[in-house]
Amino acid sequence: MAPGPIRSCAGCRRRRPQAELIRIVRCPDGTASVDSGTLEAVTPGRRAARVAGRGAYVCRDEHCADKATRSGALSRALRLEGSITREVVAQLKHGIAAGAATSKSEDERYG
């Protein structure tokens, strides 16, 4: 069975299944935010809730998030006028850290 849609990370440019990435969205009002529906681990067959707007994807890795924001790749992918705000970067890193903690606890429980 196919893994679902494939997307590229704005940081490392690796192609991965959409469910493995975090989506950052440019809302119709021109602001950027992290799509909270993509922060949680998605179970197969269940689609995450999505915020309307232009989206870009980043791996669940802090290095990819740093590279995407420092290089300006995330701003370009979202076609933003300025750069990504510190609040969005903090929200993205918090989501990555929370996902890492969840993965570790699941590994301990099932591993």
Tens-place pLDDT, residues 56-97: 999 999 999 999 999 999 999 999 988 899 999 999 999 888
Is 0.85 surpassed by the pTM of this model?
A: no
- State the pLDDT at residue 47: 57
- State the pLDDT at residue 82: 87
8 Å CB contact between 89 and 97: no
The tokens describing 46, both together, are 């269940």
Asked whether the predicted pLDDT for residue 51 surpasses 90, the reply is no
- State the pLDDT at residue 37: 80
Residue 50 pLDDT level (bands cut at 50, 70, 90): confident
Q: What is the mean pLDDT of the chain?
A: 83
The yes/no answer on whether domain 6-110 falls in CATH 3.90.320.10 is no
Asked whether the predicted pLDDT for residue 43 surpasses 60, the reply is no
Asked whether the predicted pLDDT for residue 109 surpasses 50, the reply is no
DSSP string of 61-108, one letter each residue: -HHHHHHHHHSSHHHHHHT-SSPPPHHHHHHHHHHHHHHHHHHHHHHH
